[in-house]
Every structure is written in structure tokens, then in C-alpha cells.
Structure 1
Amino acid sequence: MRIKTLVAAMAAVASLAPIAAQAQSSGENPWMVRVRAVYVDWQNGQSNGSSTAAGVQTNNINAKNQWLPEFDVSYFFTKNIAAELVLSYPQPVNINSNLTSGPTGTINALPPSLLAQYHFTDFGAFKPYVGVGINYTIFGNRNNFSIGGTGSALTVSQNSVGFVGQIGADYMFDKNWGMNVDLKYATMNTSVTGQNVASGQDLGKLTLNPLMPAIGVTYKF
């Protein structure tokens, strides 16, 4: 199902190729890049349910908020319609639990997103936009946390596919350089499984669903 979702998204972008050819023929360069600093506000990532393992309550696991670097590439099919690929490198996500005094452990998350955008161009140098697309998160280092002192080792699922929505704006200082502000919300979750408690026992979902305000620099070329 996840593979079908990704294929459908790529097919939708490919269907815009004739429009892209028309935009290129107008002589305007269709590429834009941005570098942003993003604050990732995990939305109270609670593991669903009230499962217990070896007497340990597992429904208060959450992820620690953090600043991350972000790089994205946009391609304008027309002056209003664009596709944006949001990239980063694998980021450590510190997992905390009410059962331990310090971090329970750390997993890595690589969360590229692909969005279709509409840019409003009737406000001079101020260019707001909205976007919608999919987020595909790959989790690494998945076995690197546990419920401290109990021998209850945990792992998480390998990936997550979810929705991402976006609003933002560029303020262009000239035809190439500008400042960007951006806000994205993504649905992101992963199953938490107890490895050394009951074989393969599903302890619920670590629901991350980050809200991601950002500020950065725009370069159009």
C-alpha cells in the first residue's frame, strides 16, 4: 500500500511534464533552492493504549523537540505551480519516557517529503504559497532504546508514510535572493515492539506528527 502511494505521487508529478516544457520555452529559469533552520515540535508522541510489559507501563513515550537543518529543491512548472522536494540527512530523535530520568534512547529519522505547491504572484516581492504532499520517513538505529533497568528492549518499525501540509512565503530582495518562512505539518508514526518482553509484542504507536516552523534563505536561478 505504501509503495502504491509513492508510485501514485511520482506519476502525478510526471503528468505535469508537458506544462514544464511550456514553462521552459518562456525563457524563465524554473529552479529554486532553499536552506532552512527547522524547529521540529513533535506533537506529544504518545504510544497508544495502555499495554504493559514486565510490569512496565509504555504509553508515555515521547520524542524530544529539536532544531534541524533542511534543504529543499523546487521546480516551477508554471509561475504558480511548483513541486518541492524537502531533504535532510538522518536526524537523531531522542526518545524520553516517564519511566526514566534521562533519555530512554535514540533512533534516527530520515524524513524526505514531496509536495505540490501553488504560489501566489500578485503581491510584488512577497510571494506566499501553500503545499500538500507525502512524507516518507525511514527510521534507523531502531533497536537503540529500552525501558531503563528492566531489560525491556524496544524496537520501532522501519518506515512511515503520511500526509504533509505546508504554508509559507518568500520575500524576494532581487530576482535571485530572498528570505523564506515556512510551516509544515506531517503525519508520522511508528509501531513500538517489545523484543525481550513477549516475543514480537506490539506495544502501540509512537505518534510523532511534527509541526515544523522554519526560516531560511531562498535562491532562484
Structure 2
Amino acid sequence: MRLLTRKLLAASALSLLASPVFAADLVDRAPSVAPAPALAAAPSPWQLRVRGVGVIAEDRGNVTGIPGSDLSYSRSVTPELDISYYFTDNIAVELILATTYANINGKGTIAGLGKIGRTWILPPTLTLQYHFTNFGAFKPYVGVGVNYTMFYDQKAVGVSHLDVKDTFGAALQVGFDYMINEHWGVNFDVKKLFLEPKFNATLADGVTRVRGKAKLNPWLIGAGVTYRF
């Protein structure tokens, strides 16, 4: 009986000693699992553009009740800041911020008035854009939107009083970004604003009041840099 007990104790001891060795052997033989690749971070939905913009207005307009009256406007170059937010890779909205000035000149039968006045223009514009994403680093887009144009710091010159009214207008846009890397790119952009504000003026005699419409409808042609956060 004692001999049987000793044999059982010896077998148990050998089993306990072999278990860690066997477990270690199983670990060594288990197939290695490669770590999962890190997912690429999604691009930020926010983007900024800074452009230099040439503003080219149409030379059209009229004074009500004066046949053959016409107007012309000066051209200008101004900086522009644009803030974009991407809802998807293709759909974005862009807020366009810039300010410039325009000289207003008489033409046609009112050419004798010469320079009628000058006004500063602030036309914040919001566009809804579609971005094409199947051309690699070249990323063209189109947009349509609305602007509300404010006229401020108005100065009468050939008349004694000038008041150009703030107004809403539509906007069309086409352009492209060429991305140098995931953040930086260059941009070219063309916008057409449909902008025809009404105005009131008092002629140089200080008595005669006139009104009309300034058909500015400017082209905004710009180039600059893009930064995607």
C-alpha cells in the first residue's frame, strides 16, 4: 500500500512540473497575429482659402426717366477669405468674405455728370458646392448660392447726394484646387454675382432727385492658396 501511494505522489509531481513546460510550448507554437493596421485619420471638414480677386463689373445701368442714360464702374483687385465646411467628400458650403470699392460714372446721355460717386461694397456670399473627387490631386468644383451686398461709406461727387441700396443677389461659381499634400494646395476660382442695386441721388442743384438701377453683375476672378485642416 505504501508503495502504491509513493508511485501516485511521484506521478502527480511529474505532472505538475510538466504543465508549465507544456503550456510554454503551446504558446511558442501558437501562430503569431499581426497587429491591425492603424486607420488613416479622416480629413477635417474645415478648409480655408485666401485669394487675390479681380472684380470686373458690367458697365450697365440707368436713371429712371432719362432716355439713353447709362452707367459704368471702376475695376478693382482685393483680398478674399473663404471658409468651407465639407458635409461629405463631395458636398460643401463656402462662405466668401471680401470688400472692395467702385467708382460710379455717368455714360450715354448723362456722361456730362462724369464721376457720380464712389461706394465701398461688402458682398458676403454663401455657396453650396459639389466637389469632384476622381481626379487625384486635381479637385474641380462647381457652386451656386446667394449673396447679400451692403454698400457703405458712400461719397457723392458729380451729384449732391447718393444712396445705393443694399440688396440680395444670386451667385454662380466654378473653380479647382490642386492639392500639394493633404493640407496645402493652390486654388483658382471664378464667380459671377447677379447684382443690380437700386439707387437714389440728388443732382448738383440740390433739388432734382433721380433714381435708377446700377447693373453691376460683377465677375470675381481669383487665385490663391488652400489649407485643409
Q: Same fold (TM over 0.5)?
A: yes
- Aligned with 2:42 (options 5, 22, 27): 27
The CA deviation at 1:209 is 0.3
- Aligned with 2:156 (options 119, 139, 145): 145
Which amino acid in 1 is paired with 2:127? L
Alignment partner of 1:133 is 2:145? yes
Which amino acid in 2 is paired with 1:166? Q
| Structure 1 match to 2:214 | 206
What runs of 5+ residues in structure 1 fail to find an aligned partner?
1-25
Contact 2:76 2:101 in 1 (8 A): no
What runs of 5+ residues in structure 2 fail to find an aligned partner?
1-40
- Aligned with 1:43 (options 58, 62, 67): 58
95 and 157 in structure 1: CA distance in 2 versus 1, 3 angstrom threshold: closer
Contact 2:117 2:162 in 1 (8 A): no
| Structure 1 match to 2:186 | 179
The CA deviation at 1:207 is 0.8
Which has the bigger relative contact order, CA under 8 A and spacing at least 6? 1
1:170-192 per-position Cα deviation (integer Å, ceiling 9, x unaligned): 00000011010001000112222
Contact 1:145 1:154 in 2 (8 A): yes
TM-score normalised per structure 1: 0.76
5 Å matches for 1:62-211?
A: 62-89=72-99, 91-98=100-107, 99=111, 103-142=115-154, 144-147=155-158, 152-195=159-202, 196-199=206-209, 201-202=210-211, 204-211=212-219
1:136-184 per-position Cα deviation (integer Å, ceiling 9, x unaligned): 1000123x1243xxxx424233311010000000000000110100010
Which amino acid in 2 is paired with 1:145? A
The CA deviation at 1:44 is 1.3
The CA deviation at 1:43 is 1.1
Partner of 1:28, secondary structure, is coil
Contact 1:137 1:161 in 2 (8 A): yes
Report how many aligned residue pairs link the two structures: 183
Which amino acid in 2 is paired with 1:44? D
C-alpha distance in 2, partners of 1:45/1:140? 21
Which protein shows a greater Rg? 2
1:79-130 per-position Cα deviation (integer Å, ceiling 9, x unaligned): 00000000024x2212222435964321111111000000000000000000
TM-score normalised per structure 2: 0.73
| Structure 1 residue ranges (4+ consecutive) displaced by more than 4 angstroms after TM superposition | none
Identity %: 39
Query: Alpha carbon RMSD of aligned pairs, Å?
Result: 2.1
Contact 1:47 1:192 in 2 (8 A): no
Partner of 1:141, secondary structure, is strand
